[in-house]
Amino acid sequence: MLSIKDKILLSPLWLIGNMPMWVLHGLSTFFYLLLYQVAGYRKKVVFRNLTNAFPEKSDAERKLIMKKFYKQLCDVFFESLYQHRMTPEESKRRYRFENTALYDYLLSQNKDIICMTGHYANWEWSNVGWRQMPQRTIGVYKPLMNRLFDKYFIYLRTRMGSQVVPIRETFKFAVTARRNKDRWAILLVGDQRPAAHEIKLWVNFLNQDTPVVLGPEKMAQKFDAAVVFFDVQPVKRGYYKIVPELLFEDSKKTSEHEITQKFFETLEKQIRKRPEYYLWSHKRWKYTRESDEQLVEQHQNKKNVKNLTESN
C-alpha cells in the first residue's frame, strides 16, 4: 500500500500516468532525443551487445537497430505509467491474447503453467494481459533496491487485480496453491542474469556465452507444469498481442536443462525477427566464465571469513 507521503513524492509520475496515450508517446519521442542524442545512455553497452549478437550486420544496420531500440525503451517506460489510467477493457485491446484455447485445454488437463517470456516489446504490460487467462495467474518480480519505487511498481502491476509475488516466495506460493487444489499460471521473465555465485549453466544465446537462471525449469519439473512461451508481438505503437507457444506439456519427462535450452532458442528466434524490441541496454553479458570463477572464489572466501567470525 502506498502511504500519503509516498503518493505526494510520486505525484509527478501520477500526473504523467493519467495523460492520454498520444501525449505519453509525444513525451516518449522527446525523451528519446534526450536519452539517445544528448545523454547517450549506455550507448557503448548497447552497440557492443548488438555487435556481438549480429556480427554479420554492418555498423550502419546496427546503428539503425540501436536508434529503434531507444525509441521502444522510452515507449515502454511511458506506457508502463499509463497503467494509472488504463481500464480492464482497454487492456484487452492494447495487450491482446490469442489462441486462448491453449489455456483452456491445459486447464482441462489439470495442468499448472509456467509462462516464460523475455525482456521483449512491452514486458511491463504482461501483468494486465495475463488476466485474460482462465487460471489463477501470478507475476513474479524481483524487488527493487529503492523502497519507494518498489512499492510504486507493485501498485501499477496490481491496480487492476493482478497478483504478484517476490521471486523468493514463488515456490512457497506454488506449494500453497497446489495444497488448496488451485490451478495456477506463473509468469517468469526467464532471461534474467543470475548472481555470479549462483551461476550453474551457460548457454549460447545471441552468439554469446550467457549465464542463465534455472529457477523456471526447476519449478516446472517439480510441479510437472506445462511450459508456455509468451511470444509478444508488436502490432502498432501502444498495441501488442501475445501468441502462446507450448514448449512442453509434461515437464517431468524433460531432461536436465532441456527446458532452459528450448526457452533461449525460442527467445532468440523471436529477437532475430525484430531485434529493436529487445532490451539491449542491460549488462546481460557482464560475466565471462573466467571472471565468474574469480567472483565465486571471492564470494566463498567472504562466506568463510563470516562463518569464522561468527563462530568466534
In this predicted structure, the answer to whether residue 310 has a pLDDT above a threshold of 60 is no
pLDDT tens across 260-291, in order?
Answer: 999 999 999 999 999 999 999 998 998 888 76
Please give the pLDDT value at position 198: 87
pLDDT tens across 161-189, in order?
Answer: 778 888 888 888 888 888 888 888 888 89
Please give the pLDDT value at position 293: 60
Q: Tell me the whole-structure pTM to 2 decimals.
A: 0.88
Cα–Cα distance measured from residue 17 to residue 237, given in angstroms and rounded to the nearest whole number: 17
Please give the pLDDT value at position 253: 96
The confidence band for 298, taking pLDDT boundaries of 50, 70 and 90, is low
Please give the pLDDT value at position 59: 96
Please give the pLDDT value at position 305: 47
Average pLDDT over all residues of the chain = 88
Please give the pLDDT value at position 236: 96
Please give the pLDDT value at position 142: 82
Closest CA to 128 of 98, 87, 169: 87
pLDDT tens across 93-115, in order?
Answer: 999 888 888 988 998 899 999 99
pLDDT tens across 111-164, in order?
Answer: 999 999 999 999 888 877 766 777 777 888 888 888 888 888 888 888 777 788
In this predicted structure, the answer to whether residue 209 has a pLDDT above a threshold of 80 is yes
Map out the domains of the chain as residue ranges.
Answer: 4-294
pLDDT tens across 13-33, in order?
Answer: 889 999 999 999 999 999 999
